[in-house]
Structure 1
Amino acid sequence: MNSTKQPGLETIYLLAPQIVALGRALKPLSKAARDALRHTVPQTDQPFVALDDLVRHMGVIEHALSALGSRLDGLMAEVIQNGEADALVVGRSVGRLEQVLWEFVDGYHDAKACQAGPESVEAQALILGVYRHHIESICTWLDELVTTVLSPKKALDLRGIKPSSDITLNVSLNMTDPPEMSEIGSLVKSLLAQAEEAAEAAQVAQVAQTFAGMAREAKPGIFSTIGAMAFGLGVSGAIFGKKHD
């Protein structure tokens, strides 16, 4: 991002058209996702089965987390680093990111719509907490990115950076392990032990294999801190505009 200031004139921040279009296209996403979490979800007749549904929803979450990286790479390659990106390209790239965000939201609604009995109410509450944690992390990142693009002066002020002819601002998405995950790990061990006592050997073997597979994944794992997902969106003169002398 370039800025230029002449004596007696206001500082002007220059961003390429596709970056401004990206900020505008991303702006509604976080509000829509947060609003969706507050909506009342109609109850269904589907019961929430603690062990089975924990496995199923953790699979949904892991799939969405795995897809998130490629969507952010797409924003960088298709829009931010592409000076020829038009409205169609911007919309398509943002749509792919929105699709992943709504995988989390839809999973949250699906889990919340199920009826939890006394034996599964804890499991349901924990998985809902995991969904909320990841959705809020993405929404917070979106808010920061939109502010950086559409209100660069505010972004600089928040960082304590003085305007200059060549400024780079990074907006990183840092996905962390939800606090509920440690409780889910303990609960799963307890549920597996109960299944073993009930001689449900086939179910125990399948679930144990599923959780072991998740733990071995090189991609962001359900039982590990997701700290490697840091995606910088650069704002610099080389990308966003020409310096005015």
Structure 2
Amino acid sequence: MSGPVQVTRGDGPVVLGMPHTGTGLPPDILAALNPRGRTLSDTDWHIDRLYDRLLPGVTVVRATFHRYAIDANRPPDGASLYPGQNTTGLVPLTDFDGDPIWSRQPARDDIEARRVAFHAPYHAALTAEIDRVRALHGVAILYDCHSIRSRIPFLFDGTLPDFNIGTAEGSSCDDRITRAVHDICAGAEGHTTVLNGRFKGGWTTRHYGRPETGVHAIQMELAQSTHLATEAPPFAYDPARADRLRPVLGRILATLAEIAPTLRGPA
């Protein structure tokens, strides 16, 4: 596989994080997965394509490795993001349906090796780009891009809204960002939205979102029914659905870029 992270540098104030679009796995990790794990079903399928060229000057930081190797949106110490609720950990032992994915589970040393090889380089790159963008603009807006199947009983009841906005209960970004993104989503005809519902923002949003320092973070978890032909293998991209969704996402990103100059950075 290629290096663990791909960076596309832009000169604008918005950074897109993509921790779960990668499907790369070293041969030894791939061999340790069972047949169910090898389907890589919990990938954020086609998110990089969905957001491609929506905002001129945007910076993109994308993990190329799969979340089954290690999850770049989990704390490096493995602490649960959602205590008391079903979830997956730093190195998932099950898929989102609660079914085992390994024929040979990773040992503690394996997990540490993966943290060093994958998790740390991704966040080093993301930190560097956020710092670079903040130095250019006095502020940086991290928009963390995600998607998930719309129905997963192991994780949540019923059907997930199309747009799931996470701001760590309002702590990770300025209220103007929250209101703008929520208003655009709520006004998108034929779509549903929720703010800080089942998904309130993963470790990326919670770790980097420090408005008092000039860094604002917001997570967007899209239901995959908004842009996939089917939420099962082969998880094909649906151009018609995506073409209805992309203008909404484009408005969100353009609005964030417009808001950025009005946000107060560090004193």
Q: Which range, TM-score by smaller chain?
A: under 0.3
Please identify which structure carries the higher strand content.
Answer: 2
Relative to the length of structure 2, the TM-score reads 0.23
Give the number of the structure with larger relative contact order, counting CA–CA contacts within 8 Å between residues 6 or more apart: 1
Larger radius of gyration: 1
Relative to the length of structure 1, the TM-score reads 0.24
